[in-house]
Amino acid sequence: KAGVTQTPRYLIKTRGQQVTLSCSPISGHRSVSWYQQTPGQGLQFLFEYFSETQRNKGNFPGRFSGRQFSNSRSEMNVSTLELGDSALYLCASSEGPGGSGNTIYFGEGSWLTVV
Amino acid sequence: KNEVEQSPQNLTAQEGEFITINCSYSVGISALHWLQQHPGGGIVSLFMLSSGKKKHGRLIATINIQEKHSSLHITASHPRDSAVYICAVRIGNQFYFGTGTSLTVIP
B49-64 pLDDT, tens digit per residue, is: 988 999 999 999 999 9
Q: What is the pLDDT of residue B21?
A: 98
Interface test with B, best of A21, A26, A53, A104 (most B CBs within 10 A): A104
Chain-chain contact of B45 with A108 (C-beta, under 8 angstroms): no
A2-37: pLDDT as tens digits:
799 999 999 999 999 999 999 999 999 999 999 999
Alpha-carbon gap: B90 to the closest alpha carbon of chain A (Å): 6
Looking at the complex, does the CB of residue A50 fall below 8 Å from at least one CB of chain B?
Answer: no
Cβ contact B59:B80 at 8 Å: no
CA distance B99 to A71: 34
Shortest Cα–Cα distance, A47 to chain B (Å): 9
| Burial degree of A89 (CB within 10 A; 0-12, 13-18, 19+) | buried
Q: Which of residues 25-84 of B touch A (CB under 8 A)?
A: 30-31, 33, 35, 40-45, 48, 50
Amino acid sitting at position A101: G
CA separation for the pair A66, A36 (Å, rounded): 13
pLDDT per position as a tens digit, A52-100: 999 889 999 999 999 999 999 999 999 999 999 999 999 999 988 765 6
Query: What Rg do the C-alpha atoms of chain B give, in angstroms?
Result: 13
pLDDT at A113 over 90: yes
CA B49 to chain A, closest CA, distance in angstroms equals: 8
